[in-house]
Amino acid sequence: MSVDEIITLDYGSGGKKTSRLISDEILPRLENPALSELGDGAVLPGADRLVFSTDSFVVTPLFFPGGDIGKLAVCGTVNDIAMCGGEAKYLSLSLIIEEGLPVADLRRVMDSVQRAAAGAGVQVVTGDTKVVERSRGDGLYINTAGIGFLRHPGLSPKNMCEGDAVILSGTAGDHGAAVMLARGGLLDAGEAVESDCAALGALAEAVLSSGAEVRCLRDPTRGGVATTLCEFAESSGLGMELFETDIPVRPAVRAACSLLGLDVLYCANEGKLLAVVSAETAETALAAMRATDAGRDAAVIGRVSGADGGRVVLRTAAGGGRILQKLAGAQLPRIC
């Protein structure tokens, strides 16, 4: 597969085509050790243990059950830093506003940014505001970049070993299902499905300081749990095994996914993390995660298997095995 001549939505899915675009068109031009790690953020060489990360948020609709683009923009970047073992401290906030946005909507988003930043213990210290013509945007796009201090160095999927446990910090697919329902105008169905959008700093700190041997953390956003595990497998060269019946999924999310024809394993999460820890310390990690708000439904959902070099296999409820690949195409565009 090579990059097509025209960018399609598939290139923004967070899956195969996104990887290809980055590896073919971006990395070769900018290559350096920090960037090439392709982690959620960069640990800066020679910069006194700084972690640096960025994310642009282009979600539609701007407001959805459980959150909005402002909360997402703060939590998303805070979480990327937390996944690198960093404590987020400072954010930049850049707004690309489409002409015609009601100021009331902007106020609501900024209130949400304020609350989320206070909740996550970060300060917005610099920013930028641009306005684009009608039909050149979608109400509001937000970019945040964040600086954090590295508290737990050395996290990387390259550290994974055969036998390691894979822990998911809670239920899968909530954010993706909530946004897709909101986009379909399907909110009236009880609104039981809410985005899990949340800052994960405290959860990450809990597991990283629990004494468990943590190999790596990552928050499975675009592309979902399946795509993140494929990235781990690719990066480590080790296979992974996932047990379908052990993956926590809310009944309402499962129902929504059936309705919408989505695979919950590829649905985005915005308040969950995947942790790979040594088998011996999995219980320690689980206990530490479950003691936090964001991690109370944490569960071991799989293991690192030496056998299937680089493959992620889902052991299904029916006893079968299904090879999982990175998201191909655009199951869930524009949800974070």
Contact predicate 168/299, CB 8 Å: yes
Cα–Cα distance measured from residue 330 to residue 334, given in angstroms and rounded to the nearest whole number? 9
Subset of 205-264 contacting a copy of itself (CB under 8 A): none
Subset of 177-216 contacting a copy of itself (CB under 8 A): none
In the list 16, 72, 86, 141, the residue contacting a copy of itself (rule: CB under 8 A) is 141
* Shortest spacing between CB 298 and a copy of itself, in angstroms: 27
Contact predicate 144/54, CB 8 Å: yes
133 touching a copy of itself, by CB under 8 A: yes
Cα–Cα distance measured from residue 257 to residue 224, given in angstroms and rounded to the nearest whole number? 13
308 touching a copy of itself, by CB under 8 A: no
Which CB atom, from 56 or from 284, has the smaller least distance to a copy of itself? 56
Cα–Cα distance measured from residue 331 to residue 301, given in angstroms and rounded to the nearest whole number? 23
Which CB atom, from 128 or from 293, has the smaller least distance to a copy of itself? 128
Cα–Cα distance measured from residue 141 to residue 285, given in angstroms and rounded to the nearest whole number? 36
Contact predicate 237/310, CB 8 Å: yes
In the list 23, 130, 296, 307, the residue contacting a copy of itself (rule: CB under 8 A) is 130
Tell me the window of 1-9, 164-172, 177-185, 253-261 that interacts with a copy of itself (CB under 8 A). 1-9
Nearest Cα to Cα of residue 257 among 175, 167, 166: 175
* Shortest spacing between CB 170 and a copy of itself, in angstroms: 24
In the list 1, 15, 16, 35, the residue contacting a copy of itself (rule: CB under 8 A) is 35
Tell me the window of 49-57, 177-185, 257-265, 301-309 that interacts with a copy of itself (CB under 8 A). 49-57
Cα–Cα distance measured from residue 323 to residue 275, given in angstroms and rounded to the nearest whole number? 21
Cα–Cα distance measured from residue 276 to residue 300, given in angstroms and rounded to the nearest whole number? 9
In the list 23, 121, 129, 154, the residue contacting a copy of itself (rule: CB under 8 A) is 129
Cis check for the bond before 65: say yes or no (omega within 30 of 0).
no
CA 74 centroid distance within chain:
13
Which CB atom, from 30 or from 318, has the smaller least distance to a copy of itself? 30
Phi, psi of 97 (to 5 degrees): -100, 135
Subset of 69-128 contacting a copy of itself (CB under 8 A): 89-90, 92-104, 106-107, 110-111, 113-114, 117, 123-128
* Shortest spacing between CB 296 and a copy of itself, in angstroms: 30
* Shortest spacing between CB 156 and a copy of itself, in angstroms: 15
In the list 1, 5, 185, 319, the residue contacting a copy of itself (rule: CB under 8 A) is 5
Give me the sheet containing 123-132, strands edge to edge: 42-43, 50-57, 140-150, 86-98, 123-132
Phi, psi of 106 (to 5 degrees): -60, -40
Subset of 315-334 contacting a copy of itself (CB under 8 A): 333-334
153 touching a copy of itself, by CB under 8 A: no
In the list 15, 16, 53, 67, the residue contacting a copy of itself (rule: CB under 8 A) is 53
Q: Which amino acid is at 67?
A: G
Tell me the window of 139-147, 153-161, 184-192, 294-302 that interacts with a copy of itself (CB under 8 A). 139-147
